Structure 1
Amino acid sequence: MASITSAGLGSGLDVNGIISQLMELESQPLDKLQNRAKEAQSKISAIGTLQGALSTFQARVLGLSSASAYKSLKGSLGDSAIGTVSTAVNAQAGSYSLAVTQLAQAHKLKSQSFTSVNEPVGTGTMTIQFGTHDDNGTTGTNADDTFTVNGDKGALTIEVDSTNNTLTGLRDAINAKKAGVTATIVNDGGGYRLLLSSSDSGEANSLKISVDDDDTNDTDTSGLSRFAYDPTATTNMAQTQVAQNAKFQLDGIAISKSSNTVTDVLQGVTLTLQKISALDSNDAPITTSLNVSRDTSGVKTAVEEFVKSYNEFAKSVEGLSFYNEQDKSSGLLNGDYVIRSMQSSIRATLNQGLGKGSYYQSLGAVGVSFDDKGTMTLDSSKLQKALDTRPEDVASLFAVNGVSSDARVSYVSSTATTQAGSYAINVTAPATRGSFSGLAIANGPITITENDNDMLMVAVDGTSSGQIKLAAGSYATPAALAAEIQSKINGDSRIKDAGAGVTVAYNTTSGKFEMSSNKYGAKSNVQITATGSTTETTLGFKVSQSGSGTNVAGTINGEPAKGDGQSLTGTGKVEGLKLTITGDTAGDYGTMGFSRGFASKLDQTVASLLSNNGLLRSRINGLNRDIKNIESQGGTMIRRLEDIEKRYRAQFSALDVQIATMNSTSSYLSQQLSMLNNLASGNKK
């Protein structure tokens, strides 16, 4: 009997169909497992969408986290041609009248004419100083004019030798100093002239040019002395523009300033003057209005965007977690704990009171609330009122901010560990500058003699100066000489490059020169390191006179704080709270209200949710683990199904053979019976 090689051929059964149906039944657990994997993958994709919505919401939150945004003001002039107005966060709202009668301008000088830019100009030393020239008003003479040195501007010394003793070389040497004077060369058609211009405008920035000419004559019109300009004596350079201050009236008060950019008349207001006011029929300047008002448009827009972004975020969450009772449809994350946990974290942050550090305790206090459907809403009028009356406190409601009750204390920064609250500030010792007083000298004219008492060297904040030479001559008062000393020290290249500087003054009560570093704190110090032969007797300065500053010391919240210059940084509960203390006395400095506003808190909450160890990433990691486990279980199940199918096929193959054999036997017996019947029928005949 031939063997059966194809399932069902021997039996006539649809063996493949039967096995296929049986395997469909056997594969149902695998199908359910694969559906679970697809569902987990869909949830991962949905959580990715949630992460995107949360990141967008966080970006809007960050737009509210800067305290300075809540304090901005804007300025305007009724006559915009007069100038412009800009404001800083510490400006105060107000309205004023303004009339401009004179614009500031810089001092400008021109040299005599040279035939070439490469013509020699002589050699020696040129010293440029800044100060105020008081004209006696007498035509044709400078005899009783005066020049008072501007102690706030360092003197400029240029060495002119064989490497730079041309008109071009002198120009470049002056400009290389970058010390308040600009030099240019102009061809006026008849020759080349050196033009010098003070970089700063104003009466106190008039130029005085002294030379030490190698030809030994410092005042003639040859050699380097051709560039000498002393408004009280030799004027070999010609003045092309007088130095003058800006003059204007603010609410009828006459004011004079060295620059057309005025920053110190109204707190936090920068006024840039561009034009003199027109005159009325009586030749009086016509006033225009200057208004400073709080600019809340940016804050309102930011809050509106915050509300809009929250609602967009809530809508995204709803789209992923909804359940429709009517058609039984649901979002991919319906019932998932990640939604509940995330919503709980955000709502807890929004509903939490801010504590003692903030005047406003809830978003509802400034018009931000929720309706009965959970949608965030904004009452713009309520927000505007809060911004108009308590801008600092609105800043504290949203941002990380500190509000001081004492003008001598200002908030600088904080760290993530700084806790919100209201903290008492006490200063046990204010910061001081390194300073010393010289020996007593007479309050009268002082003569500085070259190579005698005209030299000193100092060290300021750890930086040693080069040799400092004072201008020889008679100084009418010690105060005039103090300005000269200060100017020359601050003009020293080593001191200047180190960012250091000094203030020198004469104390009429003690009869002593006083020298102070411009820096506060323990790193602040000044010292006399060398002097001329008679400097001690005429100026009261001697070698080793010195003084060091001290850091501010005190407590914040009753706990010792760390002092560094004028900065006081908290410890303990107020760890990282950094303040600037500008007072000069010890005692109670009020309180500092430190707040982590809702924007800051929300930013921290969202950042935590989005972090690598946060809720969303943890849920994604869990789903990936589920998928991996499903894949492992699926692999095992597939191998088991393969074995089952093999077994089914073996069993049905055996059955097929048996049925085929039985069919063959049945056919044979049928044939034999038919033959017997035929034989029986033949015998009867």
Structure 2
Amino acid sequence: MASISSLGIGSGLDLNSLLDQLESAERQQLTPIVQQQKSYLAKISAFGRLENALASFQEAAAKLADAESFQAVKADISGESLAVSADEQAVVGSYDIEVTQMARRYSIASAGLADKTELLGAGSIDFTLGNGESFSVSMDTKDSSLEGIRDAINGADAGVTASIVNDGSGQPYRLVLSSSDTGTEAAITAVNFTGLGGQLSLDAATEVQARNAELTVNGIAIESRGNRVEGAIQGVVLNIDDTGSATLDISRDSEAVQKNVETFVSAYNALQKTLSELTGYNAEAGSAGMLLGNATVRGVETQLRNLMGEAVDGAGFSTLSDLGISLQPDGTLEVDEEALDDALANRLGDLAGFFAGAVDDSEGFASRVDAALTSLLGEGGALENATGGLESSVDGLEERYERTEARIEETIARYRSQFTQLDSLIAQMNSTSSYLTQQFEALSVQLDQ
């Protein structure tokens, strides 16, 4: 609070400086409140770090808790005639594929016209498609140019697309009609022009017949309307690029499972490192982790240790150590690559049962971890309660700070009032003293005469 600059003029005392010193002394009452606030905020931040580490570990556990993650497959294709994609429904096996014909669209062009903007007159065009469907496009005289007819057909969006080509002849502009999709069912089987000045007709020499894709899979003949073939092989999509031969091998993607297991271990070890930093004590530096001795964190550590050591019933593997994943003295996990590779190569079903749960609906190890972390991190969980209590304490300290600051301001205002009165009183006394001195001096002069 600002001081009155004239304070002390009447008395000649440095009352402004004294008032500032008193205010500084009074405001020392705020220092422990601020320090305590900073301590609580630092703990809230520390809990935030712990929550992020727990969430990352939960995300890794959730992947292993999903039984479908163990059903992932990979597709290896030899040959350049097609590309493939496979999902978890694909069946492990080998397939010989021979593509003898690619699917294509039907197209045909009209005879040429000299001017693509010339109005041909009102009329219509009737189409019939290979699937038996038919539609008609009508044009008014003002929209009957070759360009207008093209736009009307495309605007109908009924399975036929139109474009205009210039063949460079004396009557260069041709209307090209194409089926929107490949295959015989999408082909244009009939086109009838009505009106339009009788100037439009089809040029049979430009006709390109529609075709279905034809291929064999392990000797079984397959026909497809498009070059994207679904259902020929369970869980596999074939995208035909050319005719030719190819061999497709579908196998379990053990690398994806291995990556999920390694991510689980890495996330747990990162969590342990975070816990160590938050709860450790450095004797040489004399510094302690922000959450050292915190009861909530001790509870989290105990729960994690118990989870890592629990056994799973009903699965081929019982504990993490059976997989070659061992708990180290420092609390981290270490992977025996050879043991894990053996489990991935020869006992993938048992591995899935251990992490995601066995076929009898028993709870898997990763499922158990995921559920425990959900309880810790969820609404009303241990971490929310801990941070909620700290946030309430911060709010309480803020109110205490405001009350203390208001009391200090009242105290300084009282000091200022008292100093002002003191300044005035001393000024009056100085004035009276000066007056009396003058009177005595005058009286002394009179007596000397």
Q: How many angstroms does 1:166 deviate by? A: 2.3
Q: Does 1:76 align with 2:76?
A: yes
> Partners of 2:257 and 2:103 in 1: how far apart?
37
For residue 252 of structure 1, what is the aligned residue in structure 2?
Answer: 219
Q: Secondary structure at the match of 1:265?
A: strand
* Contact 1:349–1:602 (8 Å) recurs in 2: yes
* Contact 2:82–2:246 (8 Å) recurs in 1: no
For residue 264 of structure 2, what is the aligned residue in structure 1?
Answer: 306
Superposition pairs of residues 531-542 of structure 1, within 5 angstroms: none
> Partners of 1:402 and 1:77 in 2: how far apart?
33
> Partners of 1:163 and 1:603 in 2: how far apart?
69
The C-alpha deviation readout for 1:159-207, integer Å capped at 9, x for no partner, is 3333532221221122123333221110001211111122222233332
The C-alpha deviation readout for 1:236-293, integer Å capped at 9, x for no partner, is 654432222333333333433332222221111122222333xxxxxxxxx4422222
Q: Does 1:295 align with 2:274?
A: no
Q: How many angstroms does 1:308 deviate by? A: 0.5
For residue 201 of structure 1, what is the aligned residue in structure 2?
Answer: 182
Mark the CA change 1:327 to 1:196 in structure 2 (over 3 Å): closer, same or farther: closer
Gaps of 5+ in 2: 1-24, 416-449
Match of 2:209 among 238, 242, 245: 242
Q: Does 1:213 align with 2:194?
A: yes
> Partners of 1:384 and 1:126 in 2: how far apart?
67
Mark the CA change 1:253 to 1:623 in structure 2 (over 3 Å): closer, same or farther: closer
Q: Does 1:614 align with 2:400?
A: no
Superposition pairs of residues 326-365 of structure 1, within 5 angstroms: 330-347=288-305
Q: Does 1:377 align with 2:353?
A: no
Match of 1:269 among 236, 242, 245: 236
* Greater alpha carbon shift after TM alignment, 386-395 vs 93-102: 386-395
Superposition pairs of residues 644-655 of structure 1, within 5 angstroms: none
> Partners of 2:156 and 2:250 in 1: how far apart?
40
Superposition pairs of residues 470-549 of structure 1, within 5 angstroms: none
Q: Secondary structure at the match of 2:164?
A: strand
Q: Secondary structure at the match of 1:171?
A: helix
* Contact 2:352–2:358 (8 Å) recurs in 1: no
> Partners of 1:253 and 1:260 in 2: how far apart?
17
Mark the CA change 1:630 to 1:120 in structure 2 (over 3 Å): closer, same or farther: closer
> Partners of 1:381 and 1:335 in 2: how far apart?
39
Superposition pairs of residues 97-108 of structure 1, within 5 angstroms: 97-108=96-107
Which structure carries more relative contact order (alpha carbon 8 Å, separation 6+)?
A: 2
Mark the CA change 1:376 to 1:222 in structure 2 (over 3 Å): closer, same or farther: same
> Partners of 1:130 and 1:55 in 2: how far apart?
56
> Partners of 2:68 and 2:139 in 1: how far apart?
50
Superposition CA RMSD, Å:
4.4
Q: Does 1:161 align with 2:140?
A: yes
Q: Does 1:172 align with 2:139?
A: no
> Partners of 1:52 and 1:322 in 2: how far apart?
19
Q: How many angstroms does 1:311 deviate by? A: 0.5
> Partners of 2:127 and 2:310 in 1: how far apart?
64
Q: How many angstroms does 1:330 deviate by? A: 4.6
* Contact 2:108–2:204 (8 Å) recurs in 1: yes
For residue 49 of structure 1, what is the aligned residue in structure 2?
Answer: 49
TM-score between the two structures when normalised by the length of structure 1: 0.47
TM-score between the two structures when normalised by the length of structure 2: 0.68
> Partners of 1:366 and 1:182 in 2: how far apart?
60
* Contact 2:162–2:178 (8 Å) recurs in 1: yes
Q: Point out the structure with the larger helix share.
A: 2
Mark the CA change 1:167 to 1:51 in structure 2 (over 3 Å): closer, same or farther: same
Superposition pairs of residues 581-600 of structure 1, within 5 angstroms: none
Q: Does 1:130 align with 2:129?
A: yes
Mark the CA change 1:274 to 1:159 in structure 2 (over 3 Å): closer, same or farther: same
> Partners of 1:361 and 1:161 in 2: how far apart?
79
* Greater alpha carbon shift after TM alignment, 387-396 vs 160-169: 387-396
